[in-house]
Structure 1
Amino acid sequence: MTKNEGEFIELMGGQLGIWYAQQLAPENRSFFLAEYIEIHGPVDHALLLRAAELRIRETETVRLRLKTVDGTPVQYLHDAADYPVQAVDLSGERDPRAAARAWMDADLRTPAELDGGALHNAAIITLDEELHYWYIRVHHLVFDGQSGVVAAARGAEIYAALLEGRDPAEGALAPFSVLHEDDRAYRTSAQYEQDRLYWLDRLAGHPALDGGDAYKSRRAQHAPLRHTDGIDTDAADSLKHGARRLRTSFPGLMIAAAALYQHRVSGEQEITVGLPVRARGDRHTLTVPGMTSNILPLRLSIGPRTTVEDLVRQTSHAVREGMKHQRYRYRDMLGDLKITDGDLCGLHINVMAFDYDLRFGTCPTVTHNLSTGPVDNLRIDIYDRGGMQINIDANPDAHDLDAAAALSRHYLNVATWLAHAEPTALAAHADLLDEGERGRVLVEWNDTAAERVPGSLVDLFEA
């Protein structure tokens, strides 16, 4: 070991899944997560840089590096001095926003070095005196969505402390060892075995066990294609009102809509959608950045007589019961079922019903996601921010942007129908098509009228 290397420790369960997935797709750059916080106003540039540097020093997980020892991946904590924050000034560019996006996109294409390389990069990008981007890129091996929420909030706290002359060490994040020890304890606990048995029972007889083509794995070798859409505040409020009317939450409604969409496009009555979850042991671990996120396979049944009320209740129950067993790894579920080249979920749905709502001093912010990880088939990411933003990420080896756009459009149609449907309405009657598409199907494609040619059949031959 060099003087910058700390003690070698094993990878956590969630990290192992990401490590194996990256080995199968070494050229896939989307294993990096990335976002930027757009800061408006007269922020103190020097303090912002200092806050970014202090956050790196404090957030141990972003300084983790990997080595492979005797065929087994291990990790160690690296020296914070080797993680400088880049100061990028693009204020002189003709179009600073476009230049900043091009810079971030280029950085996001950086290859992952899983043998001793840095897994994190950060930059403060200046577009003009009153517009800055705080950009981060970090490998999914050491970071997840919950980590992003915690780190963003902590960055704003550190900046505020520096601005007000307070000690920025107050409220420091707990060390990575807290999360690591909690994961190790779980994997040797009685709860681990209870969770394993729960999922074995819940997934017994799943159609994927028959090895049908619909459940074959499509391991993504490239970054996903992304289609971005959205609806305004009024439309988003209408969906939320519909959720309350159906006695469910906004995420519950959107998850049910994803299952219903899958039923409508596939015709299958057995539907399984993937739901990303934090997979943390308690509230204390929620504030420790690191990679623990997992996938819950929500198994639902939607038949000809299933009502809207049935679907919503079934979805709520599946989520509620699954969350009690959320720490058992999805990869281990597949192993227990002896599925070596398949998947349980064709469609994944992630509803982020929160907003960072960060301020740097008096300066408001807007957060933009650039990458949420690899996608082997299709994923819907919903952000409840000033209306509703929807990102459709699609495996480019199986889908194109037109398919992603169609999914977005049809999914929103189904969600809107569900929000306004009577509880007793049949779920199978959900509207998939919009007015334009319905007109083409029912009118244009059925416009088979043809000019009648006078005369008999004999006359036509003699002519």
Structure 2
Amino acid sequence: MTRREDRMSALSPQKRQLLDHLTAQRERSRPWPVEVVSSDRREGEFPATAGQRRTFLHTRDHPEETFWNMRMGLRLRGPLDAPAMVRAVQRLQDRHDSLRTTFRLDGDRVLQVVAPRPAAAIPIVDLEGLPSDLVTQRMRHADHEEETRPFDLSCDNTLRGRILRVCPDDHALLLTVHHVVLDGWSANVLTRDLFALYDEERGVAEATPEPHLQFHDYAEWQHRWLHSWSRIEQSQYWRRTMAGAPPVLDLTARKREESVGFERGHRTFEIGPAVAEAVREIGRSCGATMFMTLVAAFSVLAARDAAQQEIVIGVPIAARHQSELEDVVGLFANMVPVRVNLRGAASFHELITGVRQTAQDGFCHQDLPIEELLSELDVETPVGYAPVIQVIFALYNYPRAFVELTGIDDEPLSDGPPSEALQIYAPHDVRPDLCIRVYDQLGRTSCRCFLEYNGRALSANRADQIVEDYLELLGRLTADPNAPLTRAFESASRR
């Protein structure tokens, strides 16, 4: 027995308990190493993240569902070198290990299995010589087929695609990636890297540096973090913050059935330049971001329509806490619940200040995966509703990939809304009712927006009314942010 063990054995139970408490407190105060480090392995088995586990299990249990398919369809006009594009896609898969990953169960664990570097099968389909109307029909059919063809994550590549050749100066590129390895930020990285690799293949660009980290490095970090003191502290924070929160925010104006299912609907709208600039300026005056100001305004609408003074809104976050992770393709995105209390907010200015503080606190505790957070809260939600979060609000202003193919003009094949926010938060068969997505992009004074909703819970007319009311209310609140908040409730149209 060592001298230290001798001293420990001589302590009374009370003193030993105090020592254990002080030791735990000291360990808790140590900063958790937030850096993700490279494992230097590029193939083999690695733990799946919490988000990947949830996505894989749902896909396994619903093999026919294509809710998780994330598509990139581009019409490319100009002298495209199609074989060089195929090689670029293959190099993209070689560059990002997540794009050659399958998944398997090991007991109750989900593992991601990174394969040796295979060549992706990207066929070139020749449509040259067909009438233009038949070309359009074939393109739509191919795009629809990509959208509706499911993945088998136990054996399929998580990236697939094809090139449609209309003539030497007209092609369509269709790529589909499963959400289990891709989020919105990653889609931006994927596009940027693909275009850069294509130009490399043609000898018109310098070599693109390899990413320092891979997604499975982050997955191993998260696996360790989930067994750390930092995780315990964040769990305690969320239990305190969400204690007594209202279980439901219902804006649907419909009687809720036990199982509503899911049917995607969407509306596109725009926040004009004058109102968008007013939102930015009011936010700056409150020390808040544009996002916080927009959420505060939407909270007024939601609280009014739901007849609640307190609401919970889900906020997607990029969850890339390290600069080296910005160039990695993977499912990093997480969801943070923001609890908004309108009691005591005399004006829009005051409400923004409250939302700012609540959001900042939540963002400081964003490492806990939403799947783990829901487990910690153990909230009883009425049947037919998604747990905790029924409404999502997202602002996207992360850097966009302003990379162009040399000599090629590209345009999207379809104008449908991205669906990442609803994909991030689909922990159960019941999904959120609606999601508002705002894009504040560099060089644009206005903001392009989507309202994406569950058509089984929300009628099309109700979706239109929400958009109309939000824009009207946003205009009123920004015109006089110091006016009594009750005036906004009284003046805006009732549903």
TM over 0.5: yes
1:28 corresponds to which of 49, 52, 65 = 65
| Equivalence for 2:37 | none
| Equivalence for 2:439 | 383
Question: Aligned partners of 1:432, 1:45: CA distance in 2, in Å?
Answer: 60
Equivalent positions of 1:273-312 (< 5 A) are: 273-303=313-343, 305-312=345-352
Q: Which amino acid aligns with 1:269?
A: Q
The 1:25/1:402 distance shift into structure 2, 3 A limit, reads farther
Question: Aligned partners of 1:170, 1:258: CA distance in 2, in Å?
Answer: 42
Cα deviation, residue 165, structure 1: 4.7
Equivalent positions of 1:75-86 (< 5 A) are: 75-81=112-118, 83-86=120-123
Cα deviation, residue 26, structure 1: 4.9
Matched residues, number: 430
CA offsets 1:313-359 (integer angstroms, 9 cap, x no match): 12222222211111102222221122265522221011112443331
| Equivalence for 1:427 | 485
Question: Aligned partners of 2:161, 2:170: CA distance in 1, in Å?
Answer: 17
Question: Aligned partners of 2:185, 2:278: CA distance in 1, in Å?
Answer: 28
Give the match's secondary structure for 1:253: helix
Give the match's secondary structure for 1:430: helix
Q: Which amino acid aligns with 2:304?
A: R
The 1:266/1:340 distance shift into structure 2, 3 A limit, reads closer
Question: Aligned partners of 1:393, 1:44: CA distance in 2, in Å?
Answer: 37
1:230 corresponds to which of 270, 275, 278 = 270
Question: Aligned partners of 2:407, 2:182: CA distance in 1, in Å?
Answer: 29
Cα deviation, residue 301, structure 1: 0.5
| Equivalence for 1:317 | 357
Cα deviation, residue 277, structure 1: 0.8
Residues 409-418 or 20-29, more deviating = 20-29
Contact 1:61 1:289 in 2 (8 A): yes
The 1:85/1:198 distance shift into structure 2, 3 A limit, reads same
Cα deviation, residue 300, structure 1: 0.8
The 1:70/1:177 distance shift into structure 2, 3 A limit, reads closer
Contact 2:286 2:353 in 1 (8 A): no
Residues 25-34 or 282-291, more deviating = 25-34
Equivalent positions of 1:129-278 (< 5 A) are: 132-165=171-204, 168=207, 170-172=209-211, 174-208=213-247, 221-222=261-262, 224-231=264-271, 236-237=276-277, 239-244=279-284, 247-278=287-318
Question: Aligned partners of 1:218, 1:8: CA distance in 2, in Å?
Answer: 40
Question: Aligned partners of 1:301, 1:361: CA distance in 2, in Å?
Answer: 51
Length-normalised TM-score, structure 1: 0.80
The 1:430/1:103 distance shift into structure 2, 3 A limit, reads farther
Contact 2:297 2:473 in 1 (8 A): yes
| Equivalence for 2:36 | none
Q: Which amino acid aligns with 2:454?
A: N
The 1:161/1:237 distance shift into structure 2, 3 A limit, reads farther
Unaligned 5+ runs, structure 2: 1-41
Equivalent positions of 1:114-129 (< 5 A) are: 114-126=153-165
Q: Note if 1:47 corresponds to 2:76.
A: no
| Equivalence for 1:408 | 467
Give the match's secondary structure for 1:348: strand
Q: Note if 1:348 corresponds to 2:392.
A: yes
* Two-structure CA RMSD over aligned residues (Å): 3.6
Question: Aligned partners of 1:173, 1:328: CA distance in 2, in Å?
Answer: 24
Cα deviation, residue 155, structure 1: 1.6
Question: Aligned partners of 2:283, 2:289: CA distance in 1, in Å?
Answer: 6
Length-normalised TM-score, structure 2: 0.75
Contact 1:279 1:294 in 2 (8 A): yes
Cα deviation, residue 389, structure 1: 2.2
Cα deviation, residue 195, structure 1: 1.3
Contact 2:345 2:351 in 1 (8 A): no
CA offsets 1:360-389 (integer angstroms, 9 cap, x no match): 225455566554236532111222344432
Contact 2:158 2:177 in 1 (8 A): yes
Residues 388-397 or 325-334, more deviating = 388-397
The 1:105/1:255 distance shift into structure 2, 3 A limit, reads farther
Contact 1:248 1:316 in 2 (8 A): yes
Equivalent positions of 1:28-107 (< 5 A) are: 28-37=65-74, 39=76, 41-81=78-118, 83-89=120-126, 92=130, 93-94=132-133, 99-107=138-146
Residues 145-154 or 405-414, more deviating = 405-414
